Amino acid sequence: MDIRLKMFIQACTACCAWYAAAKYFPLDIRKASKKGYYMQVLSNYCMRSKILFNQKQKPKKELLYFLRALGIEHDGTLSGMVQSTQKAWLRPDGKERWEISDNNEKKREKILGLLKNISCVDELLPSQDFYNYAVILGALAPRVRSRLAYLFKQWEKGIRFETLVFLGGARPLHPTFESEAILCNTHNKELPFSDTWKLKGDMPSTEAEMIRMIFDQVELPKGFERVSIIFINTQMQEQQDGSLSRPNTADTVEQWMNGGPKEGSCLVVSNQPYIGYQDSVVRTFLPDSFEVETVGSAADKDLPIAVYLDTVARWLYQEQRRVNTKR
């Protein structure tokens, strides 16, 4: 397609999206049109587009420099990078992200600078004003709260969407990080409770039940009652040996698609350093008729370097899987 025609179509699409948002969800345009805000959005969007590889799936210089600086040897191919980073950085089976550590903390500041160059540290903002769907990915309860709080913050800035989808599953709750005290903590820092909330029935025992409870606990922003809410509850996944494992992001996306949702634009809410990886996962399993943009808050200041590197290894693996799936 001629590039001028493509740009014209994109401009028309943006105008139509703005009109739809203004018609169904009135905006304070003066607040949403600050120059600094849009400059940051544009910058973030450009970084998010083809961060690791160009349109020909060749590694970009930022990725090559990152791997070289951390002593990762490879043959220049995506498969070679995946093999080397999986061996060097992937967390052992049976361990969660918060349970791993390594010796790279001695070079923390240098590595953080390199990670910023591949967009794994700083906040990434939405580039549009209107989406058909907002999608919140499942996580531990404090992270679900912070992601929902982040989405509410974007709503208050003028970002609008028709449907909110929570991608959850039957993962058993963590006894420490998702205890009754944490789930019912009315003074939590992530998301304030509604003054009228009271526990009804039993405490949740799974991620999906916890997500529904957290949503019930909060005070909704003005106008949010117009948004349709979908809760996805993906069952535990049976392995070849008969054991059960918790559903991952891919499983929850597939469960959502099994319901036959109408195609449209998706604002996926994650947080750093998982934005790139989870963006790739969602793009792998959503049909090409869905437009995907993944955003989220900056990484926690004290997040271990090992968690960053594990996530980069998974991101590269997922990119390989996405490329092979979409061929």
Contacts 24+ apart (CB under 8 A), 136-139: 136/164, 136/165, 136/166, 136/167, 136/211, 136/269, 137/167, 137/249, 137/252, 137/268, 137/269, 137/270, 137/278, 138/166, 138/167, 138/168, 138/169, 138/171, 138/207, 138/208, 138/211, 138/249, 138/252
Query: For the chain, where are the alpha helices, taking DSSP H only?
Result: 3-24, 29-32, 35-48, 61-69, 78-89, 108-117, 141-156, 180-183, 207-217, 249-258, 275-285, 305-326
- Give the domain range for residue 75: 52-120+303-327
Residues 91 and 162 in one domain: no
180 and 325 fall within a common domain: no
200 within some domain = yes
Reported as a single tens digit per residue, the pLDDT across 135-193 is 999 999 999 999 999 999 999 999 999 999 999 999 999 999 999 999 999 988 889 89
Whether 184 and 249 share a structural domain = yes
Q: What is the pLDDT of residues 107-130, one digit of tens each?
A: 999 999 999 999 999 999 999 999
Band of pLDDT at residue 23, cut at 50, 70 and 90: very low
Which residues 6+ apart lie within 8 Å of 106 measured at CB? none
* 196-233 pLDDT per residue, tens: 999 988 999 999 999 999 999 999 999 999 999 999 99
> Do 153 and 113 reside in the same domain of the chain?
no
Number of structural domains, the chain? 2
Structure confidence by residue, pLDDT tens digits, 223-275: 999 999 999 999 999 898 999 999 988 899 999 999 999 999 999 999 999 99
Per-residue pLDDT for 35 more than 60? no
pLDDT band at 18; cut points 50, 70, 90:
very low
Q: Is residue 8 part of a domain?
A: no
Asked if residue 46 has pLDDT above 60, the reply is no
Question: Model's pTM, two decimal places?
Answer: 0.81
DSSP 104: G
Residues 199 and 262 in one domain: yes
Q: Are residues 180 and 68 in the same domain?
A: no
Q: Are residues 104 and 144 in the same domain?
A: no
